[in-house]
Amino acid sequence: MTGPDLDALSARTADDLDAAEGFRQPWMRELFRKVPRYAFVPDRVWVWSTDAYRPLDRTVDPVGWAQLVSDATQSVVTQVDDGRPGPDGGALPTSSISAPNAVFTMLAAADLESGHRVMEIGTGTGCNAALLCERVGTRNVVSVEIDPAVARSARSALHAAGYRPTVVVADGEAGHPAGGPYDRLLSTASSHHVPGAWVQQVRPGGLIVTPWRTTLATSGMAVLRVTDDGRAQGNFGHPMAFMDLRGQRRDDHSPLRDVYTRDAWDDSRAGPVRSAPHWLDDDYHARFAAGLLLPGVHADCQDIDSGAEPAWWLSTPTSWAYVTGGTARQWGPRDLLDELDQAHDHWTKAGRPDLYRYGLTVTRDGTQRPWLDTPDGLLPEPFSPGVTPARRSGRTRPL
């Protein structure tokens, strides 16, 4: 197949990474040189175009394919809709090869040493597993992939490149206890609840490194060290977005579509707006903090029309809130706008901390509690559902 010089493009990508942030350790550049990313990317990938993910085929557009694969900051979608795209394209990205800068940020956080026993959650294309093999030794790598087709493709690419880690087809949330205990667990999929099974399968002193997100759609990389008494705890690090674990997917279309009805609008409580939630878009750290206090709450911004102030919707499976300008309406057992105000107040009174000051403790049974600054600085329990006395006024409907 003719096309761009992929090795030259790969070398340029390494230079780009060095120029931007630099490889954190000398061995990282050597790993990047030994494991060519392009060797693990299928000929058909998927790119967003207007309203859907469309295929980009290497055989049709070798230059476009190569440019995408060699971008140091770009993840590449390799599967959509769990391998069952519609005739007009795909709606949901379900597997990918991570951006090189994100990959090496995670590898640095994992503090890998030769001989470490490593479990990877989410094999994907197999590229990250190959990097792990180079660093810790092929026999020390177990990679768990939930999708059989993705696992087969990854195993084939790994074998072709000369790597034979243990690739297990299973739900990554359960881990793979037969290969443990592990010195390191790296998840290439994001979670909002760290499974207790991961804590159980990593030895005391070992690390769990995973992207972690709230339903307010904010992410931080959790780096958790397992303690002698069977907990895992540590701070959040570099913000990074990864696809969710399949069992923890956050529907980009929030629960609003299931809980909102016209009758509910007529029965909703109307009242004044204390503060519009625009800060959710304006301050990433504030949104992250609010997500810790409001697990399960979704926030969506809706542009009504040109020049008009956007509307915000908050929702859970049982309640919703709507606010635009000076108009607010709420329905269900929770007053979500009031809870959001309380979360913002808590963040402000704490000194407007950035996400790096927050951390997480997870026990062997999967109980998790976020904290600020130290594990003893536990945040308040998530706000309890409550109802503000009904304040009903006109019947104006949102546009």
Enzyme catalytic residues: 98
Element (H, E) at 277: none
Do the Cβ atoms of 232 and 225 come closer than 8 Å? Answer: yes
Query: CA neighbours within 13 Å on the CB side: how many for 306?
Result: 0
Question: Residue written as tokens 């690739």?
Answer: 167
Nearest to 132 by CA among 150, 117, 147: 117
Q: What is the number of other CB atoms lying within 10 angstroms of the CB of residue 217?
A: 17
Q: Kindly give the pairing relationship between strand 166-169 and strand 269-271.
A: unpaired
3-class SS shares of the chain: helix, strand, coil, % to 5: 35, 25, 40
Do the Cβ atoms of 204 and 182 come closer than 8 Å? Answer: no
DSSP string, 327-345: EEEEESS--HHHHHHHHHH
Query: CA neighbours within 13 Å on the CB side: how many for 273?
Result: 15
Q: Measured between alpha carbons, how far is 234 from 236 in angstroms, rounded to an integer?
A: 7
DSSP string, 119-148: EEE--TTSHHHHHHHHHH-GGGEEEEES-H
Residue 110 one-letter amino acid: A
Do the Cβ atoms of 297 and 305 come closer than 8 Å? Answer: no
The DSSP secondary-structure symbol of 307 reads T
Please report the sign of the dihedral spanned by the C-alpha atoms of residue 362, residue 368, residue 372, residue 378: negative
Decide: residue 257, CB within 10 A, 0-12 exposed, 13-18 middle, 19+ buried.
exposed
Cα distances (angstroms) measured from residue 290 to each of 1, 112, 284, 316: 51, 33, 10, 15
